[in-house]
């Protein structure tokens, strides 16, 4: 009996782009992307339609820090706005992924095209995230420099664990994906698309066709869930560093979960089992996608285990 062919949105974690968090060189990222391409192409080879999403935390932070550092030495050099840095990171991460995946497809004689799409994601400017920015980005500054940036540029700056002051931006929820019709057309035609990179470039809709970029970071797992909803995907696969989601993580009572119902997921979230900066957004994004329509499934696992996860052999599955 043949496997069911699924439409899958694959959300790549940071470790899929940078094997060593301290090594942020572009050359190293390309090497890591070539390893990442193999399990992705495994899924394509099985006949699944694959849409790829990815984070951009370290990359966008590095771009911003580079501009900030350069402008400190040269006051006439303008700092690149945040949405533009997001677009730049989408471009170069997409370029690495499409090079790596294309090469892997060629090796296996799979004749498919792949492209990264610069993707804008609509957010609501009334989103409570804008009232309380929490996402640290860019360089560390002294208190004196931070005060100056707050006055001059209107930034929100916060003291970061005794290491200095950093800019913080909002993390609003995604409302819509502007280029979704294009993604759908390409996927329907059999192409592989890389989209909502870094959660998408956050924009607010000003009406009359005008979109305005805003300084914010959309969680890439939520953005992946949103594009999966719009494209009516069968699966949202959120890739992380571990094979399964666990409760009582890192304690003697740790228990890995094979399958979670919506009710159980809500209960575990309520009980505080998942760390806010890491597993919590993944479980919440998976939950949101599964709740959006009956029959949808979300899988949280590691990149290497994605193929086995779809076959039901490993990973943590959420279903309605």
**Active-site choice (34, 38, 112, 135):** 135
Asked if 293 is an active-site residue, the reply is no
3-state SS, residue 90: helix
φ and ψ of 77, to 5 deg: -85, 120
Q: How far apart are the first and last CA of the chain?
A: 25
Q: Is 14 a catalytic residue?
A: yes
Check if the beta carbon of residue 296 is closer than 8 Å to that of residue 320: yes
Catalytic residue among 13, 61, 198, 282: 282
Distances (CA, A) of 147 to 150, 201, 224: 5, 27, 36
What would the two tokens of residue 12 be? 């790549």
- What's the chain's length in residues? 320
Contact (Cβ atoms closer than 8 angstroms) between residue 316 and residue 287? no
Residue 250 annotated to the active site? no
Q: Is 54 exposed, middle or buried (0-12, 13-18, 19+ CB in 10 A)?
A: buried
Residue of 14, 34, 112, 319 with catalytic role: 14
Q: Is residue 169 within 8 Å of 217, Cβ to Cβ?
A: yes
- 15, 38, 112, 164: which is the annotated catalytic residue? 15
Quick one: tokens of 126?
């009334």
Give the angle 19-13-84 at the CA atoms, nearest 5°: 100
Q: Which amino acids are annotated catalytic?
A: 14-15, 135, 220, 282
């Amino acid at each position: 009996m043949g496997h069911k062919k699924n439409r899958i949105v694959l959300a790549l974690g940071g470790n899929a782009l940078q094997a060593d968090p301290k090594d942020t060189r572009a050359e190293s990222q390309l090497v890591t992307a070539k390893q990442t391409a193999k399990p992705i192409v495994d899924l394509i080879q099985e006949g699944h339609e694959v849409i790829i999403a990815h984070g951009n935390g370290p990359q966008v932070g590095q771009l911003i820090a580079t501009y900030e550092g350069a402008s400190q030495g040269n006051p006439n050099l303008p700092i690149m706005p945040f949405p533009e840095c997001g677009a730049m990171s989408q471009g170069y991460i997409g370029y690495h992924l499409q090079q790596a995946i294309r090469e892997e497809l060629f090796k296996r004689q799979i004749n498919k095209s792949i492209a990264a799409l610069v993707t804008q994601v609509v957010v609501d400017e009334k989103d409570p995230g804008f009232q309380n920015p929490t996402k640290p980005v860019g360089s560390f500054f002294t208190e004196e420099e931070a005060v100056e940036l707050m006055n001059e540029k209107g930034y929100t700056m916060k003291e970061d664990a005794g290491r200095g002051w950093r800019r913080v931006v909002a993390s609003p929820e995604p409302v819509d994906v502007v280029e979704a019709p294009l993604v759908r057309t390409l996927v329907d035609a059999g192409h592989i698309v890389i989209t909502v990179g870094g959660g998408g470039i956050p924009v607010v809709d000003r009406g009359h066709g005008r979109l305005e970029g805003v300084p914010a970071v959309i969680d890439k797992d939520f953005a992946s869930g949103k594009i999966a909803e719009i494209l009516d995907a069968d699966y949202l696969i959120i890739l992380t560093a571990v094979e399964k989601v666990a409760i009582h993580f890192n304690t003697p009572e740790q228990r890995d979960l094979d399958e979670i119902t919506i009710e159980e997921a809500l209960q575990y979230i309520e009980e505080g089992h998942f760390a806010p900066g890491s597993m919590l957004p993944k479980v919440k994004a998976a939950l949101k996608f599964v709740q959006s329509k009956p029959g949808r499934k979300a899988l949280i696992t590691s990149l290497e285990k994605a193929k086995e996860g779809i076959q039901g052999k490993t990973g943590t599955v959420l279903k309605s």
